[in-house]
Structure 1
């Protein structure tokens, strides 16, 4: 897993309110929503490859 880094971010109040509402609508934290938005923008611009979804193996025998 990638190491996570933190940094301060200054944004316009109206922009933050919109992201907070979007995050609430998607049941995410603001941080997770910002990561989602940034990741999607990077993918659409061709700067990163889309991450494969993690799969969970369920063992029904136990």
Structure 2
């Protein structure tokens, strides 16, 4: 079941790319969804654009 804190969206992706993501997810013992999220975070971190972790904004306000 999806976490209530996460945004759901449809993704259209090339079948060959999807197969590679599935293969990588299996090798790293992740679900495909978790693998996609991992790859997106990794790409954003390389660009210096990684958002604050969920809950960090709430803690900063207290």
The TM-score, its normalising length taken from structure 2, stands at 0.73
The number of aligned residues is: 50
CA RMSD of aligned residues (A): 1.8
Structure 2: runs of 5+ lacking an equivalent: 54-62
Contact 1:23–1:33 at 8 Å: present in 2 too?
A: yes
Structure 1: runs of 5+ lacking an equivalent: 52-62
Contact 1:20–1:30 at 8 Å: present in 2 too?
A: yes
In 2: Cα distance, 1:9 partner to 1:43 partner: 22
Structure with greater proportional helix content? 2
Match of 2:35 among 33, 36, 50: 33
1:3: how far off? 1.7
Greater Rg over alpha carbons, structure: 1
